[in-house]
Chain A
Amino acid sequence: MAKSYRALCSLRYPDGPAEVAKRKARDPDVKWKEVPEGAITTDIPSESISWLLEQGRIEEIKAGVPGPSPTKVKEADDG
């Protein structure tokens, strides 16, 4: 099962392995995917995961460790 990561900033990368291959070949016609900050994603190119983790730009979502609850956020907003 693919690991899940939370984007700690917006990310932009080729949309799928075939597009990654095109990017590596410097094909100018690459289809890019944009992931907004805070989104959880499973398809970050494998080549990029280590440096994004190391530089604190993504974090791994571990099983049993939920992220911020939308309900709790709403309660906070309600004051």
Chain B
Amino acid sequence: MAKYGSAEVGFLLVGPYNLTNVSSKIEDSATRTTEDMTPFGTSIAVVAASPVVHFELTGHEGWYDDAADSINAAMVGMASTATILMMAVKGNTAGKLAVCSSGAIRTGYKRSFAVGEYHKASMELAITGIRDEATIVYPLTLTSGDGSTEAADLDLGAAGGGTTGCNVYFSCTQLALTGSTNLIVTFEDSSDAITYAPQTAMTALTVVGAEYKASVDQTVNRYVAAKWVFTGLAGTPTATFALAVKVNAPHA
């Protein structure tokens, strides 16, 4: 067991927007409503928990920023569409926890202005669909040119792989192709940490983007890595991205 602090919040990514440096507080909440099920003939209350758990990100506090890659653009962009959420709360390091979802929906965006203070901006997000406690495979990092992490792969442990597929979360917050055609990031795995093969390739990017890919009933091996290739490599392209995976639990 360990305690963590604000310095260990590695990233808060909403779609391809990195909101880490404009945020100072957020609450990751799970709530289950209850229903009064008290029937006739008794004076003792019966309350039943709803079978549905609602995940939300509330209590966000931060600063207003009108940069094209910051919170105002993110909230405007999310006016009507769900997007990817990736939140590293125990550090921006491979193997650490990333709270991830494919269905973050903007339910609130508030801007406040006060004399003597920087302008504030806060958001509220609801989660539709899956919310995963995923593992960071590739921390949010600026890379230059092609690369991979096989040499320093991540071992999910003897019980860390599976045979029922996985959910892969990806967010690219900065991309400069410098004449290259596109960027393709691949999630790879290996059974023996010697030979690596692609498990899931993300859609080729020509601009920043975020994506979620799910597989079902597919073997995911315990050693995992990320690989990235700039198709038609030209100049010195750069990208900043993060990749996380949640291996599915065995079938009941």
* Inter-chain contacts of A39 with B (CB < 8 A): none
- Name A's interface SS: mixed
**Least CB distance, B202 to chain A, in whole angstroms:** 14
* Inter-chain contacts of B150 with A (CB < 8 A): 12, 32
B180 at the interface (CB under 8 A from A): no
State A9–B200 Cα separation when bound (angstroms). 11
B2 at the interface (CB under 8 A from A): no
Interface residues of B in 179-223 (CB under 8 A from A): 188, 190-198, 219, 221
- The 8 Å CB contact of A51, one of B152, B188, B192, B198, is B192
State A55–B191 Cα separation when bound (angstroms). 10
Interface residues on A, range: 20 to 34
* Inter-chain contacts of A14 with B (CB < 8 A): 194
The answer to whether B151 touches A11 (Cβ under 8 A) is: no
Interface residues on B, range: 10 to 19
* Inter-chain contacts of A24 with B (CB < 8 A): 194
State A46–B119 Cα separation when bound (angstroms). 62
State A12–B190 Cα separation when bound (angstroms). 10
* Inter-chain contacts of B196 with A (CB < 8 A): 11-13
* Inter-chain contacts of A55 with B (CB < 8 A): 191, 197, 219
* Inter-chain contacts of B151 with A (CB < 8 A): 28, 30
Beta-carbon nearest neighbor of A24 in chain B:
B194
B148 at the interface (CB under 8 A from A): yes
Known pairs A10-B198, A12-B188, A55-B191. 17 more at Cβ < 8 A?
Answer: A9-B198, A11-B195, A12-B148, A12-B150, A12-B197, A12-B227, A13-B196, A14-B194, A45-B192, A45-B194, A47-B195, A48-B192, A48-B194, A51-B192, A52-B195, A55-B197, A57-B197
30 pairs, A vs B, C-beta closer than 8 Å: A9-B197, A10-B197, A10-B198, A11-B195, A11-B196, A12-B150, A12-B195, A13-B194, A13-B195, A13-B196, A14-B194, A20-B194, A23-B193, A23-B194, A28-B152, A30-B151, A45-B192, A45-B194, A47-B192, A48-B190, A48-B191, A48-B194, A48-B195, A51-B191, A51-B221, A52-B197, A55-B191, A55-B197, A55-B219, A57-B197
Query: Which residue numbers of A lie inside 8 Å of B, CB to CB?
Result: 9-14, 20, 23-24, 28, 30, 32, 44-45, 47-48, 51-52, 55, 57
Query: Which residue numbers of B lie inside 8 Å of A, CB to CB?
Result: 148, 150-152, 188, 190-198, 219, 221, 227
